[in-house]
Amino acid sequence: GENVEQHPSTLSVQEGDSAVIKCTYSDSASNYFPWYKQELGKRPQLIIDIRSNVGEKKDQRIAVTLNKTAKHFSLHITETQPEDSAVYFCAASPDNYGQNFVFGPGTRLSVLP
């Protein structure tokens, strides 16, 4: 089955700097890759996602890149702000009926003022 690894497990950056979180997956059939942000005490919320036929997607300060050949994808946050502090989860999913997601273990991002 699918296995998703995520690095680093913790990340501290100064406000205004960029943050990068990397994930690798094992199943070449996976073709949808969402990223979730979970603030303390709150539900995980989707922040960006990418399909396997796309190499990069951007939404304001957040971008995701995908390398299908190497089976890895990354989340990039530019101009970080204190409210970006949270745990971030990547996930991989085949595009099949009833299939579920496999999540990475999470990255705790701290943005220092």
Partner 1 sequence: DVKVTQSSRYLVKRTGEKVFLECVQDMDHENMFWYRQDPGLGLRLIYFSYDVKMKEKGDIPEGYSVSREKKERFSLILESASTNQTSMYLCASRVTGGHQPQHFGDGTRLSIL
Interacting residues with partner 1 (CB under 8 A): 6, 9, 31-32, 34, 36, 42-46, 49, 51, 89, 95, 97-98, 100-106
Q: Which is nearer to partner 1, 97 or 113 (CB)?
A: 97
Q: Which is nearer to partner 1, 31 or 78 (CB)?
A: 31
Tell me the closest approach of the beta carbon of residue 1 to partner 1, in angstroms: 8
Tell me the closest approach of the beta carbon of residue 93 to partner 1, in angstroms: 9
Tell me the closest approach of the beta carbon of residue 69 to partner 1, in angstroms: 20
Measured CA to CA, the distance from residue 58 to residue 75 in angstroms comes to 10
Nearest 5°: the CA angle 16, 107, 26 is 125
Give 2-43 as a DSSP string: --EEEE-SEEEEETTS-EEEEEEE--TT--EEEEEEE-TTS-
Q: DSSP letter for 78, please.
A: -
Q: Which is nearer to partner 1, 10 or 81 (CB)?
A: 10
